[in-house]
Structure 1
Amino acid sequence: MDVPLHFAVKTRLVDLLERLGEGAALPPERTLAAEFGVSRWTMRQAIRELVADGRLRARQGQGTFVATPKLIQPLALVSYTEALRAQGHEPAREVVAFEEVDADAELADGLGVAVGAPVHRLERVLFADGQPIGLEITYLAVERFPTLRAVLRPTGSLYRCLTDELGVRFGEGEEVVETVIASPREAELLQATQSMPMFLLHRRSRDVDGRPIEVVRSLYRGDRVAFRATLRP
């Protein structure tokens, strides 16, 4: 079976990136096309795919650079803060909104409350080493966590607050992962383009007694984050 030309070029470019190393500037498109003996269109296509894969990063007006390795986010009930620090990165958060909303039918089902019941809606941009990598919206029942707003630090870990301040013991959760295109607002918050691939995660978690804790919608930049799950028979 014939391999598309741009895919063969992409494979050769990956070898070049490994030789150049993290943060190195990629030679100009014209130079690479001449060196590889292909058209600039073919080279441009291969470079675009490597940007989408997270292997290259384009900086407006500066050029294209070898990207740092993707962050690994475990698919587990663990703190975002602890997961990043375990990999040697510095996590941070920025609160976009912290408000009360009325539960619709889907939220009511996920949180075990009546339709129309008040629900905390916490929206935050997630950062790693100063760069935005995710946008997370968490919903929690006000009836169960009436003091959440008072005890949660804006830049603190929500999971640590729930466990240390509010006595929650996480039991189990379920998570669904899909790929989506970000809305204009989401792309702006994540300093990304709308064409960039994104991972969308839907999570529901329960405590050790089976009571609902949270419903979460998380959007992650596909060029910066990968996911890992431990599978057992």
Structure 2
Amino acid sequence: MASAAPKYLELAAQMRLRIEQQPVGTPVPSERDLALESGVSRMTARRAIEVLVAEGRITREVGRGSFVARPTLSLPLTLSSFSEDVRQRGMTPSARVIEARIVPAAELAGVFGVDAVEPLVRLVRVRLADDRPMALERASLLASAAPDLLDVADFTLASLYEVLEHRYGVRFDAGTQVIQAGLVSAADGRLLDAAAGSAAFEFLRTSTASGTVLEHTVSLYPAGRFELSAAIRPTRAPGSEAPAAR
């Protein structure tokens, strides 16, 4: 017979259901009040709250207490745009443009397979979801693939991928993406409203169209605002036999 779940996990599950019905910023009971309300020890109440803090469902503010946090954004590991992902979750995407200019390929020449003097479009933006900073995106694109790109759209609102497809006929059909654990620097933290030294995901994406590298983007996502998701499948068909060992 399976053993019952620990009390703190049962309490965390009950609180999770309650939090899902409450607006962002709603105060969460203190450890003492939660313990009295639920008939458990303060240690159990503390551990239940810690579970929800780790999940990003509760945020703690020194001197004020604990509150219902903004929900994290589930980030699928697919070749899609930030704007598309955000809209699919019922939120409004936008951006603050930090840098938009033409630069030489320089150290990215090898990534694009071009000379070091080949012009690239450099577009650095803080990506927002419902006006909340969610990511710092440093995109580089082959300028010859999208002439006058910086003049044809307002990139505080426009999706880069949508502009490339609809105006220039560029549709990415393949790419590689590397995900690394990282830390938020002091400068990036000011842009993202995140604490310096806090955990982050760093995405390095290189996208191609018809075999030509057209985009290389490095994006920084504060870890507490995201969860990663991916569809998975077995490496061999169900029922098939594994190859014999030699």
Instruction: Tell me, in whole angstroms, the C-alpha distance in 1 between the residues paired with 2:172 and 2:112.
Output: 14
Matched, 1:99 2:101: yes
Instruction: Tell me, in whole angstroms, the C-alpha distance in 2 between the residues paired with 1:27 and 1:50.
Output: 13
> Does structure 1 retain, via aligned residues, the 8 Å contact 2:184–2:222?
no
Instruction: Tell me, in whole angstroms, the C-alpha distance in 1 between the residues paired with 2:63 and 2:117.
Output: 49
Q: How far did 1:226 drift?
A: 1.5
Uncovered stretches (5+) of structure 2, i.e. residues with no partner: 1-5, 236-246
How many aligned positions are there? 222
Are residues 108 and 33 of structure 1, via their aligned partners in 2, closer, same or farther at CA, if it must alter by over 3 Å? Answer: farther
Corresponding residue number in structure 2 for 1:139:
140
Of 77, 81, 86 in structure 2, the residue corresponding to residue 79 of structure 1 is: 81
Matched, 1:108 2:106: no
Q: Which has the higher Rg, Structure 1 or Structure 2?
A: 2
Instruction: Tell me, in whole angstroms, the C-alpha distance in 2 between the residues paired with 1:56 and 1:73.
Output: 20
Instruction: Tell me, in whole angstroms, the C-alpha distance in 1 between the residues paired with 2:117 and 2:8.
Output: 52
Q: How far did 1:49 drift?
A: 6.3
Instruction: Tell me, in whole angstroms, the C-alpha distance in 2 between the residues paired with 1:219 and 1:197.
Output: 10
Of 10, 33, 41 in structure 2, the residue corresponding to residue 37 of structure 1 is: 41
Instruction: Tell me, in whole angstroms, the C-alpha distance in 2 between the residues paired with 1:194 and 1:13.
Output: 32
Q: How far did 1:70 drift?
A: 2.1
Corresponding residue number in structure 1 for 2:164:
162
Of 30, 43, 46 in structure 2, the residue corresponding to residue 28 of structure 1 is: 30
- Tell me the TM-score normalised to structure 1 length: 0.82
User: Which whole-Å deviations, capped at 9, do the CAs of 1:131-179 have from their partners, x for residues lacking one?
Assistant: 1111111001223333111113222000001000111021101101122
Are residues 25 and 195 of structure 1, via their aligned partners in 2, closer, same or farther at CA, if it must alter by over 3 Å? Answer: farther
Corresponding residue number in structure 1 for 2:199:
197
Instruction: Tell me, in whole angstroms, the C-alpha distance in 1 between the residues paired with 2:197 and 2:35.
Output: 24
Let me know the Cα RMSD of the aligned residues. 2.7
User: Which whole-Å deviations, capped at 9, do the CAs of 1:19-76 have from their partners, x for residues lacking one?
Assistant: 4324342222454577753569x93x87566434312123465431133432122211
> Does structure 2 retain, via aligned residues, the 8 Å contact 1:183–1:194?
yes
> Does structure 1 retain, via aligned residues, the 8 Å contact 2:57–2:68?
yes
> Does structure 2 retain, via aligned residues, the 8 Å contact 1:53–1:222?
no
Matched, 1:128 2:114: no
Corresponding residue number in structure 1 for 2:189:
187
Range moving further from structure 2, 209-218 or 186-195: 186-195
- Tell me the TM-score normalised to structure 2 length: 0.78
The percent of aligned pairs where both chains have the same amino acid is 34
Uncovered stretches (5+) of structure 1, i.e. residues with no partner: 1-7
Instruction: Tell me, in whole angstroms, the C-alpha distance in 1 between the residues paired with 2:89 and 2:149.
Output: 29
